[in-house]
Chains A and B, each alone.
Chain A
Amino acid sequence: EAGVAQSPRYKIIEKRQSVAFWCNPISGHATLYWYQQILGQGPKLLIQFQNNGVVDDSQLPKDRFSAERLKGVDSTLKIQPAKLEDSAVYLCASSHYGSPVRAGGKLFFGSGTQLSVL
Chain B
Amino acid sequence: KQEVTQIPAALSVPEGENLVLNCSFTDSAIYNLQWFRQDPGKGLTSLLLIQSSQREQTSGRLNASLDKSSGRSTLYIAASQPGDSATYLCAVTNNQAGTALIFGKGTTLSVSS
Chain A residues within CB distance 8 Å of chain B: 4, 33, 40-45, 48, 50, 55-56, 91, 93, 98-102, 104-112, 114
Contacts and interface: CB of A to CB of B under 8 A. Distances in A.
Contacts of B46: 106-108
Contacts of A112: 42-43
B113 interface: no
B interface, over-half SS = strand
B49 A56 contact: no
B41 A114 contact: yes
A105 to B, nearest CB: 5
B77 interface: no
A55 B98 CA distance: 7
Contacts, number: 74
Contacts of A111: 41-43
Given A42-B89, A106-B49, A109-B43, A101 B103 contact: no
Contacts of A114: 41
B103 A105 contact: no
B28 to A, nearest CB: 16
A25 B95 CA distance: 25
Contacts of A33: 100
